[in-house]
Amino acid sequence: MALTIKVTAADGTLYHVAARQLNDATAWWRIAQLNGMTDPDLSTFTTPVTLVLPAIDTALDSGVPGVTA
């Protein structure tokens, strides 16, 4: 079962969510991709929105695709 969370404008950006939930702010794009989003900014959310979170991938050196630490 996929992990889901509720976010609001107060959560700031997907960078913040990724840092808190995945321990890697650069993995924001994985959350965005999984939820059909292209913009990491959450300031336009006027009500809580449920997001599906990707599994933490320990095989990745960095959250940025094609980049290794």
pLDDT tens digits, residue range 17-68?
999 999 999 999 999 999 999 999 999 999 999 999 998 766 665 555 665 5
Q: What is the CA radius of gyration of the chain?
A: 12
Q: What is the pLDDT of residue 67?
A: 54
Q: For residue 35, which of 16, 54, 55, 62 has the smallest C-alpha distance?
A: 54
Its sign, for the CA torsion 18, 22, 25, 29, is: negative
Q: What is the pTM of this model?
A: 0.80
